[in-house]
């Protein structure tokens, strides 16, 4: 299945990968400007248009109310999920307001609980989430940084392999950052959780 790319109004970063034919691109409000600067024409422009100087003259717009429970980025992910996409690449989702960055980390968890995988990119790190599952992460730079956080109720049965500080059947909680600032010391790291959700960030 092809991927869904979402461009938000946060800090613009170099694209880890560009949309390919068959991928679906959503510009979330001010993310439309990032698309234009990257030379990408989105398939859909979605938003309440509070982060654009004016509503663009664009052929496919889904305007949503300002007063709503979902952020524009969250609505974009819901739209992509409804269209059947299960892999999401999210740009412009960090570096702006901290509350929106936190909301986008929660979005990764929300996707993971729906058999989907989201990737959130900042300048040097990639973030994703797993729920009752596992992921393998390549080392990247030597001693590449890796951080693992519990997001929600206690995460039980946590294993970390191929890292400087391994974990075996551990419990991570949302109240203490035990998994922060680890290092991948082998060709790849294996992270898994038996019961719960983890947000994982690694240095590219």
How would you write 18-68 as a 3-class SS string? CCCCCCEEEEECCHHHHHHHCCCCCCEEEECCCCCCCCCCCCCEEECCCCC
pLDDT at residue number 53: 81
Fold classified for 129-203: Jelly Rolls (2.60.120)
The pLDDT value given to residue 56: 87
Overall pTM > 0.85: yes
Give residues with Cβ within 8 angstroms of 123, minimum separation 6: 11, 13, 14, 95
pLDDT of residue 137: 97
The CATH 3.40.50.10240 domain(s) of the chain lie at 4-123
pLDDT in tens, 149-159: 999 999 999 99
Please report the pLDDT score of residue 49 as a whole number: 87
Confidence at residue 51, expressed as pLDDT on a 0 to 100 scale: 80
Domain 4-123, what fold? Rossmann fold (3.40.50)
Give me the residues of the chain with pLDDT under 70, please: 1
Q: Where in the chain is the domain with CATH 2.60.120.320?
A: 129-203
């Amino acid at each position: 299945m092809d991927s869904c790319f979402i461009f938000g109004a946060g800090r613009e970063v170099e694209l880890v990968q560009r949309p390919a034919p068959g991928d679906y691109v959503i510009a979330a409000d001010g993310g439309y400007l990032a698309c234009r600067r990257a030379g990408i024409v989105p398939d859909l422009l979605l938003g309440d248009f509070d982060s654009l100087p004016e509503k663009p003259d664009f052929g496919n717009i889904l305007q949503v109310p300002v007063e709503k429970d979902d952020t524009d980025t969250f609505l974009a992910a819901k739209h992509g999920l409804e269209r059947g996409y299960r892999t999401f690449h999210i740009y412009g989702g960090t570096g702006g307001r901290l509350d929106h960055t936190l909301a986008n980390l929660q979005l990764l968890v929300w996707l993971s609980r729906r058999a989907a995988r989201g990737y959130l990119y900042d300048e040097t790190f990639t973030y994703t989430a797993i729920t009752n599952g596992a992921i393998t992460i390549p080392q990247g730079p030597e001693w590449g940084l890796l951080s693992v956080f519990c997001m929600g109720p206690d995460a039980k049965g946590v294993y970390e392999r191929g890292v400087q500080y391994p974990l075996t059947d551990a419990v991570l909680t949302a109240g203490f950052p035990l998994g922060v600032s680890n290092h991948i010391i082998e060709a790849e790291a294996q992270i898994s959780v038996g019961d719960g959700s983890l947000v994982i960030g690694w240095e590219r």
